[in-house]
Amino acid sequence: MSTQDSEKEALYALDLSEVEWMGAPGSDPTNRIEIAHLPGGAVVMRNAAQPEDPPLRYTAAEWEAFTLGVRDGEFDVDAEG
């Protein structure tokens, strides 16, 4: 098993019942995405309107790659197309 596989396995084994979910300030709590920071820089993400659904779990490296992509505009949608 690779280190990455072991890291993901450990991430999915974590109990999330006590995590502190956060949404964007001023956003509607029933219509937003929420995240929670975990030990070691991992992050979980959920739809606040459906908190009973399993959250998405990201290792620290995956979260960093995602946030850097957002900052670099990788996910920007061209308004004309």
What are the residue ranges spanned by the domains of the chain?
3-71
CA distance 30 to 4: 34
The per-residue pLDDT for range 67-81, each reduced to its tens digit, is 999 999 998 987 555
User: Quick one: pLDDT at residue 67?
Assistant: 94
What does the angle CA 53 – CA 59 – CA 68 come to, to the nearest 5 degrees? 105
CA 64 to chain centre: 10
pTM recorded for the entire structure: 0.80
